[in-house]
Structure 1
Amino acid sequence: MKAIILGADDQFRISEVAEPVPGPGEVAIRVGYAGVQYGDVLVRAGHFPIPRPFVPGFEAAGGIVAVGDGVDETRIGEQVIALVGGGAYAEVVIAPAVLAINAAGIGLRDAAGFGWVAPTAYDLINSVAGVQAGDSVLIHAAAGGVGSLAGQFAAAAGAERIVGVVGNAGQVDYARQFGYHEVLVREEFPDAVGEEKFDAILDPIGGATRVANLARLAPHGRIVVYGNIATFEPVTVSANDLLIQGQSLLTYNSNLASQINPKRLADSAARAMTLVADGSVRIDITAEYALADVETAIAHLAGGATRGKSIVHVG
């Protein structure tokens, strides 16, 4: 079968490799589309210690063609979006059966856009930040895959005010489509919010932005850290200062969740899928690439040129 291989020289190449076979608790999926996500950027940059050569790709939408021991054979033929630890940029990928989420209600193309971003955005808003009716919410990277969904999930949870922050002025109008009452450019933050405080803040940025976010947190507010787009330099936070205001600093790691408690992640994905299937939340796919153009797709994401979600047409 054809697959994209990331070599030790950091180059992506299409190669012929053996078709994988599912083991116990696994399914084999013939991939129609694969989602492009930030894990691809981190792997290429060496932030994950994954041996090379490696077949990248962490989101695979397609049909189950074989199952391993312990998996119900009636799942063969089921249309799914699979959350995997690699291998999605290939004609066939192996996935844990528990993380192969039924996607019959939305179609393969949208399923690839659903990927990790939908359950991540759902958990950030509902499971971690605990957004409730009447809350005010600040969401950074509002034009990205997670951000474009998080604004919608916040609205579905009943948030009263939702403010987004984007990387440049060209993304402002785009982000406004996704439930945001106001959208700011990052260089305007935090001055443009004045003295406004927020009950929940989603922060994948880090550095000076993280420090500014802490200063804009309301009493008993929650800031959720789930990435470091700007810098990996640590930010020191005083637990005593948080305690005085009853504030919480929380983190979320979806990859770790998939390893420690995959059933819980799958449950969140299923709840997010219901909201997408009934039209409450919209996945916006803005770019589609051929398998041979995976390197370009990842470079665009790394450079901040991507809005919404990008996918790769595999077969």
Structure 2
Amino acid sequence: MAKAVRVHGVGGPEVMAYEDVTVGDPGAGEVRLKQDFVGLNYIDTYHRTGAYPMPTPFTIGLEAAGIVDAVGDGVDAFKPGDRVAYAAPPIGAYASERLIPWHRLIKLPDSISTEKAAGMMLQGMTVEYLLRRTYPVKKGDTVLFQAAAGGVGLIACQWLKQIGATVIGTVGSEEKAEQAKAHGCDHIIYYNKEDVAKKVREITDGAGVPVVYDGVGKSTLDGSLDSLKPRGLFVSFGAASGPIENFNLGVLSAKGSLFMTRPTLMTYTASREDLVESATALFDAVGKGLKIEINQRYALADAVQAHKDLEARKTTGSTIFVV
């Protein structure tokens, strides 16, 4: 019998239950996967809490890697035995087996292990679209990355160094500062005891930065905006501290005709073409030396504890479930 982590009502981690599920045969255009590893991502908490509403009950999760077990009619791109990964809807990744549309899957190259793939696809493709398409970072740019020691942050620091950018990163502890530095962060700011914008101005000789990448949200908004140079871009791609609400657009004009965007990976990989291009760019970056740090591993049955640790900011780098 297959196993899955199901959410029966929105709320804290305790609303998740590890239980038996039935997985049928794949229909037309579908693939049945036997999953070896599942990725844990902050977006999972948004689905669990109802911040991103889902009809209950549902199987949580958007990222996993495993082996194709069977294919439905019309599926020519994959065959049983192929190693694949994904980081996209439909939701349902926290499972030992599942059905998924073939066009959401990416075939893994020999150079990428199944375990590594489960810890890199969602965060890595997020970094890809942020740095290459939302604001195309150029060699010589100086950027601010909020929460530089998180899963997305550690990948972003490395990718930014591959581009040739200077990275200013915020962290909350000495341990996380060391991790960010080891992955290419040039300047560290402790967001819990330093004035972020003031430090950014000091580092940039008063100029500010052209772009801020912010996955924290409510608590870092002011510091992020005040770190931008005129006509700079504020990229809000997450809300770990809570969503930004009731924002007065006049603030953008007062602070220098700033731009603001709230992009999502789902939009940037909605088409098959964009999904494949994003994954290919990620694989290329890994081939050039970008390291994926899987710093936490949990059994899938321990999803409740994993969510508690994630929300308490006890995790760094990537986290996976071992199925």
TM over 0.5: yes
CA distance in 2, matches of 1:44, 1:74: 31
Structure 1 counterpart of 2:96, from 75, 88, 91: 91
Structure 2 counterpart of 1:65, from 63, 66, 69: 69
Unaligned runs of 5+ in 1: none
Structure 2 counterpart of 1:294, from 295, 303, 311: 303
Tell me, yes or no, if structure 1 residue 312 matches structure 2 residue 313: no
Query: 1:20 touches 1:92 (CA, 8 Å); kept in 2?
Result: no
Query: 2:299 touches 2:321 (CA, 8 Å); kept in 1?
Result: yes
CA distance in 2, matches of 1:96, 1:167: 40
Alignment of 1:181-260 (within 5 A): 181-187=186-192, 188=194, 189-195=196-202, 196=204, 197-234=208-245, 235-238=247-250, 241=253, 247-258=258-269, 260=270
CA distance in 2, matches of 1:238, 1:166: 29
Aligned partner of 2:83 in structure 1 is: 79
Alignment of 1:109-148 (within 5 A): 109-148=115-154
User: Per-residue deviation at 1:224?
Assistant: 1.1
Aligned partner of 1:261 in structure 2 is: 271
CA distance in 1, matches of 2:19, 2:222: 45
Summarize deviations over 1:22-67 as a string: whole Å, max 9, x none.
3333322110000000122112211122122211121111011122
Larger mean CA deviation between 5-14 and 149-158 belongs to 5-14
Query: 2:217 touches 2:238 (CA, 8 Å); kept in 1?
Result: yes
CA distance in 1, matches of 2:281, 2:134: 15
- For 1:39, the aligned partner's letter is I
Unaligned runs of 5+ in 2: none
Aligned partner of 1:7 in structure 2 is: 8
Query: 2:68 touches 2:78 (CA, 8 Å); kept in 1?
Result: no
Alignment of 1:39-58 (within 5 A): 39-58=43-62
CA distance in 2, matches of 1:268, 1:92: 25
Aligned partner of 1:281 in structure 2 is: 290
- For 1:146, the aligned partner's letter is V
Query: 1:82 touches 1:95 (CA, 8 Å); kept in 2?
Result: no
CA distance in 2, matches of 1:190, 1:240: 15
**TM-score using structure 1 length:** 0.90
Query: 1:67 touches 1:73 (CA, 8 Å); kept in 2?
Result: no
CA distance in 2, matches of 1:5, 1:177: 37
CA distance in 1, matches of 2:78, 2:221: 47
User: Per-residue deviation at 1:86?
Assistant: 2.0
Q: Given the superposition, is the C-alpha separation of residues 181 and 20 from structure 1 closer, same or farther in structure 2, using an over 3 Å criterion?
A: farther
Structure 2 counterpart of 1:180, from 172, 178, 185: 185
Tell me, yes or no, if structure 1 residue 28 matches structure 2 residue 40: no
Q: Given the superposition, is the C-alpha separation of residues 30 and 224 from structure 1 closer, same or farther in structure 2, using an over 3 Å criterion?
A: same
Query: 2:32 touches 2:68 (CA, 8 Å); kept in 1?
Result: yes
SS at match of 2:119: helix
Query: 1:99 touches 1:266 (CA, 8 Å); kept in 2?
Result: no
Summarize deviations over 1:93-122 as a string: whole Å, max 9, x none.
222322211223210110111131100011
- For 1:17, the aligned partner's letter is V
SS at match of 2:128: helix
Identical aligned residues as a percent:
30
CA distance in 2, matches of 1:24, 1:177: 47
User: Per-residue deviation at 1:201?
Assistant: 1.1
Query: 2:129 touches 2:268 (CA, 8 Å); kept in 1?
Result: no
